[in-house]
Structure 1
Amino acid sequence: MAAALEGHREVVELLLSRGADVSLVDEDGNNILHYACMGGDVGTVELILSLDVVDVNARNNDGETAADRARVEGHHQLADLVSRAAR
């Protein structure tokens, strides 16, 4: 999640190749897609969406989706990208 937040797509890819569990959520209910959207790196978000294993409609403990978190952080392009994937 930290690699996704910081936009380190290559690190995310490495961790995935080593069996990282992308289904985990933190104590606030954020998943890896929430973190990638907060970080704002388009490539990292696209990678996570391409996995097709993360629920793009998942809500954290505050009721926010990953697209909501992207909007809050000012990453409107990412919010649109994730919203399109949610359809």
Structure 2
Amino acid sequence: MKTSLKKAFAFYKYAALLFTIIYWVYLFIDDWIFIEKYAADMSTIQKLDHLTVWLIYFAVYFLGFTFYFWLITLISIFVYHKLITRKKTI
């Protein structure tokens, strides 16, 4: 079970990196109209406020991604090691 968790953690690192890149690229593509329309009229403080909101949304989505990834992974590893491999030995 320990090796399965190590493999899952290695996969998680790559999945988290991929999630981060895809999220930020999608964010800029999705909000580009607002960036062009309102960025010239905003002060630096307002821009930092908007960046803070983006970071908070990223943190929430990343925590959700992490929670569901590990929930599914741990259930799958548990089922495989405790139920499937036990049936093979019987």
Q: Determine if the TM-score, normalized by the shorter chain, exceeds 0.5.
A: no
Report the structure, 1 or 2, having the larger helix content.
2
Q: Using structure 2 for the length normalisation, give the TM-score.
A: 0.25
TM-score by length of 1: 0.25
